[in-house]
Amino acid sequence: MANKKVILITGASSGIGKATAKTLVNHGHKVILTARSEDRLTKLVKELGEDSALSVPADATNFNELENVVTKGLNKFGRLDATFANAGKGLNTLGIEKGDPDEWATMLDININALLWSAKLTLPHLRKTKGHFIITSSATGRRAVKGSIYGASKWFTYGFGQNLAAEMSEWGGRCTTITPGAVNTPFTDEARPDKLYPQDVADAVLFALEANQRNNIREIHLRPTN
């Protein structure tokens, strides 16, 4: 069907990325999945079906590896309608004085550079389809959080999404920044009833993606009810 789309998802092997891949395929879309875990990706593609899903293991912080993902995805599906820049990482040690600079560097590479590479590599193809770029940011990117380097990285992703939306609007493209609160994923600590679930974010991605082309949903802010 003409309204069914091809979406590239980074950080697709677990959590939000995995839930989103399942949701999109269940609604008739096709997905290009990438993450570092080849085993998890292979298992997910078997579940979704090879006609609807392609896995290309890669480190999203490596520009050349991510370029290979885009190339193989285009070779299989022939076009790209959307990118879901979802790969991200938190920190084990909080605060500035007690923080680990090496851990900061790893996190910033994933939260910032992987996002930039995803945009740089896919925008030329999204321009052809008047496509959609979707970002997993965070509620911590919209408010001050004491001593949070992670939160500061999400300020970047939030601001980048606003800037990219303005740029893409010049050629009819759309950009959506999703800012969830804490989500029950391997990314966070113990499960609690006052957290969101990956499916909540996946539903937000689907909502933005399937909105009429005239409707650019610039931001979706999710918070636990309790």
The CATH number of the domain where 168 resides is what? 3.40.50.720
pLDDT surpasses 70 at 191: no
For range 120-147, the mean pLDDT: 95
How far apart (Å, rounded) are the C-alpha atoms in residues 77 and 74?
5
For range 76-82, the mean pLDDT: 98
pLDDT at res. 2: 47
- 103 touches 93 (CB < 8 A): yes
Residue of 133, 150, 155, 158 marked active site: 150
How far apart (Å, rounded) are the C-alpha atoms in residues 98 and 85?
30
Which of 62-66, 89-93, 130-134 is predicted least confidently? Answer: 89-93
How far apart (Å, rounded) are the C-alpha atoms in residues 56 and 71?
10
How far apart (Å, rounded) are the C-alpha atoms in residues 66 and 64?
5
Do the domain assignments include residue 135? Answer: yes
pLDDT at res. 51: 97
Total number of domains constituting the chain = 1
Do the domain assignments include residue 1? Answer: no
Q: Residue 46 to residues 51, 52, 166, 220: CA-CA distances in angstroms? A: 10, 10, 38, 31
For range 172-190, the mean pLDDT: 82
pLDDT surpasses 60 at 205: yes
Q: Which domain holds residue 171?
A: 6-222
pLDDT at res. 192: 61
pLDDT at res. 190: 54
pTM of the entire predicted model: 0.93
Q: Is 158 known to be catalytic?
A: no
Band of pLDDT at residue 93, cut at 50, 70 and 90:
confident
- 84 touches 122 (CB < 8 A): no
